[in-house]
Copies of this chain bind each other. A is one copy, B any other.
Amino acid sequence: MNEKKLVNIGVIGFGTVGAGTLKVLWERKPEIERELGVSIQVKRVVDKDWTRERNMVLPPEMKGNDPLEVIADPEIEIVVEAIGGISPAFEIVTQALQHGKSVVTPNKELIAKKGRELLEIAGEIKTDLFFEGAVGGGIPIIHALKEQLVGDEIEEVIGIVNGTTNFILSEMSLHKSSYHDALAEAQKRGYAEPVPTMDVEAFDAAYKIAILASLCFHTRVDVEKVFREGITRLIPEDIDFANELGFAVKLLAISKKIDGQLELRVHPVLLPIEHPLATVNGVENAIYIKSKTRALTFRGPGAGGEATGSALVGDIIEAIRNIQFQCKGRVGCTCTCELEVRPIAELVTRYCVRVLALDVPGVLGKIATQFGEADVSLQAVKQPVSTPGRLTNIYFLTHDVVEEKLWNSLERIKKLEVVQDVYAIRVEQGS
């Protein structure tokens, strides 16, 4: 028998995902080697700071400090970028590709902002750039979209793609916690950062929907054009009202192709409880894809070192197969068009509107009149039992209306003397 081919791998960045990837790779090494008929070796792991405490011990000769030790090593065929962010990840991935390496990265910000450029470089060099871990952590959605579903006429993609916010909303729903208490619980459990802005203001989800939309609709997407609204203004009463009407409240990343334009938005949503995404709770992620011929839901862990590490190992396996079969670049960029993004003001949907107003005689009539004058018609209203003269939240559910008209109605309502605050949540129709 021939000696088995040896594939050398270099890892840049030894944080949660880098370490998770190595752990999964080492634990499954014999099986993967048997499956592929190759030998796998992690030749070098680069990190800028080896003094941080870690659960995993690496042999000293494996450790490095300079990404060039990986990028410029002619023996290394596969580079795992696991440092995150744009700089220096962009330079590192660019150079690795230019050196002909197959690159595996879970870096959502990098792919959302620089994916086009990097895939073009990979295409020119005829090498692979894989990023299965960039959306939905351990959920194998990216390859599915680039391969099995690439022929589908996809109409919409809707995702719960941020575990932190899904956990917070689940807590608020289950335990009637306030947003701040639920956030504190998420931080206690390590699900939320001390500064949670990236998650709760939906930057993270915006990167991910940019990537998903790009794959689903074969279009370049400018991440800056994603409409983005976080979850910080939600209160438990909102969720109660939603539940009463048969909705769950979720932070959804949504993209739909409508009349040749692209909807591209992340915001809290009232979602019918029968929707496959409505029962996805806690830190779990899920992605729902509706094409002309099939509606699919992919559900699983959205984060975690070993779950995301498994996605990276899946990419490494793909990269090895392509090296073995000399077909690097077999699946490259799948974008063939450039769709326009539809402004959020043109969205047509139902809205749940919460109005904080003084409980005085005639208050409901005054608010309802403003809706009517702005040409917004109402489907349901809930005014809870409250104390006369005190502030109370009144809830309205509108019929379908274009968002611009809804805004007009809210502007009018805000001007009423009895009204102190107004907040609107979009409704998703369900499948």
Contacts and interface: CB of A to CB of B under 8 A. Distances in A.
Given A218-B35, A314-B149, A295 B291 contact: no
B299 A299 contact: yes
A79 to B, nearest CB: 18
Contacts of A304: 293
Contacts of A300: 294-297
A326 to B, nearest CB: 7
Contact of A34 (B35, B306, B336): B336
Contacts of A344: none
Interface stretch (A62-70, A89-97, A137-145): A137-145
A318 B148 contact: yes
Size bracket of the A interface: 35 or more
A140 B148 contact: yes
A219 to B, nearest CB: 12
A151 B28 contact: yes
Contacts of A325: 325, 327, 329-330
A336 B334 CA distance: 33
A223 interface: no
Contacts of A152: 28, 310, 314
B140 A296 contact: yes
Nearest to A279: B279
A298 to B, nearest CB: 6
A310 B314 CA distance: 24
B330 A138 contact: no
A152 B143 CA distance: 16
A150 interface: yes
20 contacts: A24-B293, A27-B292, A28-B152, A132-B148, A139-B296, A140-B296, A147-B317, A148-B314, A148-B318, A151-B314, A151-B317, A291-B310, A293-B307, A293-B309, A294-B310, A296-B300, A297-B298, A297-B300, A322-B330, A327-B330
Interface of A: 24-25, 27-28, 31-32, 34-35, 132, 138-140, 143-144, 147-153, 218, 276, 279, 291-301, 304, 306-307, 309-311, 313-315, 317-318, 321-322, 325-327, 329-331, 334, 336
